[in-house]
């Protein structure tokens, strides 16, 4: 299977890693385990360091974070 850039987009960028992680936590909650996403905020700050923010004149907020390098 040719992944192209999808492999990096899905597994190494902060947004998609967070979405996948939230899905796992929701599954654990449905199974009766009292997990909270906030418990893992320090993990995401370590793995995906925050470099800066930008707010445009149109009100668009952009955040720059590092991705995981393979």
Separation between Cα atoms, residue 53 and residue 51, nearest integer Å: 7
Are 14 and 48 within 8 A, CB to CB? yes
How much is the pLDDT for 70?
A: 75
Q: How confident is the model at residue 57 (pLDDT cuts 50, 70, 90)?
A: very high
What are the extents of the domains in the chain? Answer: 6-65
Separation between Cα atoms, residue 29 and residue 58, nearest integer Å: 38
Q: What 3-state DSSP class applies to 54? A: strand
How much is the pLDDT for 35?
A: 93
Separation between Cα atoms, residue 36 and residue 15, nearest integer Å: 18
User: Looking at residues 29-40, what average pLDDT do you find?
Assistant: 94
Q: pLDDT tens digit string along 11-33?
A: 888 888 899 899 999 999 999 99
pTM score:
0.72
């Amino acid at each position: 299977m040719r992944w192209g850039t999808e492999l990096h987009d899905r597994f190494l960028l902060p947004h998609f890693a967070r979405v996948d992680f939230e899905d796992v936590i929701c599954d654990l909650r449905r199974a009766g385990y009292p997990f909270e996403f906030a418990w893992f905020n320090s993990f995401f700050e370590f793995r995906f360091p925050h470099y800066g923010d930008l707010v445009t004149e149109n009100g668009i907020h952009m955040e720059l974070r590092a991705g995981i390098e393979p």
